[in-house]
Amino acid sequence: MKKNIGVILAGGSGKRMGENIPKQFLVIAGKTVLEHTLTVFENHPLVDEIALVIAPAHAPMLEQILQVHPFKKLVSVLHGGPERYHSSLSALEAYAHVDCNLLIHDAVRPLVDPRIISDVIRQLEKVNAVNVAVPATDTIIEVDENQEYITCIPDRSRLFHVQTPQGFDRATLQRAFDKALKDPDFQTTDDCGVIKKYLPEEKIRLVHGHPRNIKLTWPEDLAFAEKWLSLNPFNSCYE
């Protein structure tokens, strides 16, 4: 059977948080955000191993964490690049000769429900690409390029907010990136977008996420996460 690799993307700088250190290394509920996220994947019975992608400059902070809290499933520490997709490429290269699924997850989503991880892995038995999302609760508008006027109000019933982990058959994601990197106009914000544009024949299965699975972006997000993790210190009693 394929191995399930949790790929944790932890290379961001987190400037919007207003802190002096990247938000994945901020301490909430007694541990760094990164430790909380790694713990969810470490404890998940269907995850075989973990690959962590960080910026080289953050290696000393990671070393301090691992000296206190080693993770048995963490077998690869990889280096990313200036763009998010460089981190995905790093994982693809590291597992180039492994028949596996890659579960690509933002390090700054420490409240991910283990149920979501299970659902993604199960769907990868049927399809080669899986996205996690929750229904949009607010009306979404599209505006002009100057952000001055509304140009469209899409039907909210078909709009979802994307979360992670996104799951892929490794070889399929590699094929998509092989095509993408030949495109001089290539741009992307997530890996499912690469599949959708460059392998349109591949169906991307939707797994329902959870409103709690937020990406820590603003200071108030930290307060929410701290409260939740303080009440659920083992991060294992989700719905």
pLDDT at residue 238, as a whole number: 42
pLDDT of residue 231: 84
Residues 103 and 5: beta-carbon distance below 8 Å: yes
Q: How confident is the model at residue 106 (pLDDT cuts 50, 70, 90)?
A: very high
Residue 14 has pLDDT above 60, yes or no: no
How much is the average pLDDT of 66-92? 94
Average pLDDT over residues 44-62: 96
pLDDT over 90, % of the chain = 87
89-103: b (≥16 Cβ within 10 Å) or e: bbbbebbeeeebbbb
Mean per-residue pLDDT of the chain = 93
pLDDT at 239: 38
- For residue 43, the tally of other CB atoms under 10 A from its CB is 14
Predicted confidence at residue 12, as pLDDT, reads: 74
> Residue for token digits 């909380």?
36
Q: Give residue 13's pLDDT band: very low, low, confident or very high (50, 70, 90).
A: low
Residue 168 CA to residue 130 CA, distance in Å, equals 6
- For the chain, give the percent of residues with pLDDT over 70: 94
Helices (H) and strands (E) in the chain, counts: 7, 11
How many degrees, rounded to 5, is the angle at CA 234 between CA 230 and CA 239? Answer: 90
| Over residues 188-209, mean pLDDT | 97
Q: Bridge-partner residues for 167, per DSSP?
A: 103, 130
CATH of 3-231, one of 3.40.50.300, 3.40.50.2300, 3.30.930.10, 3.90.550.10: 3.90.550.10
Do 5 and 100 touch, CB atoms closer than 8 A?
yes
3-state secondary structure at position 150: strand
Residues in the chain: 239
Q: Are 215 and 166 in contact (CB under 8 A)?
A: no
Sign of CA dihedral 4, 202, 104, 99: positive
Does the pLDDT at position 11 exceed 90?
A: no
**Exposed, middle or buried, 224 (CB in 10 Å: 0-12/13-18/19+)?**
middle
